[in-house]
Structure 1
Amino acid sequence: MSRFLLRRVIELVIVFIGVTFIIYAAVFSLPGDPIASMGGDRPLPDNVVARLRAEYRLDEPLIMQYLHYLGGLLTFDLGTTYDGRSIADQLAARWPTTIALALTAWALELFIGVVLGLVAGLRYGTLTDRTILFVTVLATSIPVFVMGVSAQLIFGLELGWVPIAGTSEGWPQAYVLPALIVALYGLASASRLMRGSVVDTLRSDFVRTLVAKGMPSRQIVGVHVMRNSAAPVLTFLAIELGFLLGGTIVIEGIFNIHGVGGLLFDAIRTQQGPLVVGVATALILVFLVVNVLVDVLSSVLDPRIRHD
């Protein structure tokens, strides 16, 4: 296991450097001069533009800019925006909102998706199975903005069950509706994945052996089937958690939630390259760390998986 962890950490570092360089190169290769555009309708003097470009190292070769940025990351410095604000401070102000929304949506995906998938797998080929499959496919076919606006009109304006925008009322009132909308798309995939995994596990030889030995069905399903069916679902949900922590720009926009997704959108709109790269770097790190943790946990949940 120690060799596996060392190998995965080395892979994590290589992937992190490669992906962040691609993003950095893509962002700072875009046309336009963000420094020159800071003056708005009144262009900045040339000497001011030159000083700011030197301050943010925009006058250096791209590889030198990236190496300087990478050196800052070693001291947990994500840099500053062109208006002098700390990127780390802006992320810190937005993370609590995004984390609350992401974890709420993730918990709904985990619970509802696993339950629906388990029921469909145990009732494979029945009307229940077909109904769950139809509903989950239907949910993923509706655009997220249509689902979000419709939910606002029905549950917020017409029924008045939840607030329609903002987070002023706190958790869970302000988060449950947008989290449910986000979760619908993930839990549909999770339930179908769980369904297929349960069906495969029920057909395996060791389950037939347990049945032949007279083990109660509740124990077979609750211990053996669930444990062996959870690994692929766990992997999917881990990746989904990384996506959710990245913020969902559309949902945050519809429900006026000021999270990381909104910060990233504003950074792209205002050509704040350092902020775009800083937010992307944080999200990449979340994805990579979560995936390593999932690899380790998968070997615990599924005895067939062993890492040397």
Structure 2
Amino acid sequence: MTAAQAVTRRLAELVLVFLGVMFIIYVMVFTLPGDPIMALGGDRPLPENVVAELRSRYHLDEPVWKQYLYYLQGLAQGDLGTNFSGQPVADRLAARWPVTIALALTAWGIELVIGVGLGLYAGLRRGRVGDRVVLAGTILAASVPVFVVAVSAQLVFGVQLGWFPVAGTTQGWPTAYLLPAACIAVFGLASIARLMRGSVIDTMSSDFVRTLWAKGLTRRQVVGVHVTRNSAIPVLTYLAIDLGYLLGGTVIIEGIFNLPGVGQLLFQAIRAHEGPTVVGVSTALIIVFLVANLVVDLLHTALDPRIRHE
């Protein structure tokens, strides 16, 4: 199978996954109890003719499967839908993406630098005190719930010490993003450090490394070039997938730090029973995650020529 055929086949698989996942989400959102149209009027019920017009406009008077086909038809034209207030979901997303992207990339950078560094350090000192400290620290970091880390960091570093703003983005990047990004990065950082450590240990015991030592290469050449590059393959795979998670998994952090990002928009839409917004935001996040998975496959093949997609 050629590279082009492998990419085409992978794209076809991702399209099928996308359609299936989106159908499940759409059905779950639009079959929930409650009437979002009636809720628009608040304490004063809407006139029946207005309710009927809104139901017809959003196809709520038709079966769910037919509503889903209408949504796919609009999606094929780049339309993520319109919420019950008449605002395009794409416009609301466009206003929120910069915050979420800045937060996710900052957290991703922290994971990359500190996680890889700790993993390399621990792997080269297997069984020593430094290795045990890193292992214990990563276990502790992965065991504490994210909201506990976020609230504690906000209280200590934001309120008591005053090093970072407590909430909002008024101070811009990086000041307003470092603390929430660090709270998100703690968990991915722990996984990357452990993954890098194991990969370094395996690489150091491989035959080609022993050959490099026998040829008289320096420690900097062996570790800095060959060991690090070969050990980074599984870590880069994890990092690429994790970026997709970071772009879609910042709901709790954005809520705690009051950051006007995509996660906060999704949370507000769920509370307000805005089905079109929930589905539109979910669509964008799923596309990001699937593209990240495709990049992982291509990156894996590029870094390791032995890997071929069957």
Shorter chain as normaliser: what TM range? over 0.9
CA distance in 1, matches of 2:305, 2:216: 22
- Number of residue pairs aligned between Structure 1 and Structure 2: 308
CA, structure 1 residues 247+93, in 2 after alignment: closer, same or farther (shift >3 Å)? Answer: farther
Distance 2:56 2:81 in 1: 15
RMSD: 1.3
Aligned residue type for 1:205: D
Task: Quote the residue 1:158 is aligned against.
Answer: 160
Q: Is the 8 A contact 1:166 1:174 kept in 2?
A: yes
Find 2:178's aligned residue among 157, 176, 179. 176
Task: Note the alpha carbon deviations across 1:254-302, whole angstroms, 9 max, x for none.
Answer: 1111101100000100000110000000000001111111111112222
How is 1:1-308 mapped onto 2 (pairs within 5 angstroms)?
A: 1-307=3-309
CA contact (8 A) 1:247 1:260 kept: no
Alpha-carbon separation, structure 2, partners of 1:227 and 1:304:
15
1:212 Cα offset (Å): 2.2
Moved more, 261-270 or 145-154: 145-154
Letter in 2 for 1:88: A
Residues in 1 aligned to 2:296 and 2:193: alpha-carbon distance in whole angstroms = 19
Instruction: List runs of 5+ in structure 1 lacking aligned partners.
Output: none
CA drift at 1:116: 0.4
Q: Distance in 1 between matches of 2:92 and 2:122?
A: 44
Q: 2 CA distance for matches of 1:175 and 1:141?
A: 23
Aligned partners of 1:250 and 1:292: how far apart in 2? 27
* TM-score normalised over the length of structure 2: 0.96
Q: How far off its partner does 1:140 sit?
A: 1.7
> In structure 2, how many angstroms separate the alpha carbons of the residues matched to 1:220 and 1:63?
58
Equivalent position SS for 2:281: helix
Conserved 8 A contact 2:60-2:67: yes
Moved more, 147-156 or 97-106: 147-156
How far has the Cα of 1:161 moved from its partner?
A: 1.5
For 1:240 and 1:307, the matched residues in 2 are separated by: 22
Q: Distance in 2 between matches of 1:144 and 1:8?
A: 34
TM-superposed CA distance for 1:66, in Å, is 0.7
- What is the aligned-residue identity percentage? 66
Aligned partner of 1:12: which letter? Answer: L
> What 5-or-longer segments of structure 2 have no aligned partner?
none
Task: Return the letter of the residue paired with 1:143.
Answer: P
Contact 1:104 1:176 in 2 (8 A): yes
- Rounded to whole Å, the distance in 1 between the matches of 2:82 and 2:212 is 60
Q: CA deviation at 1:232?
A: 1.3
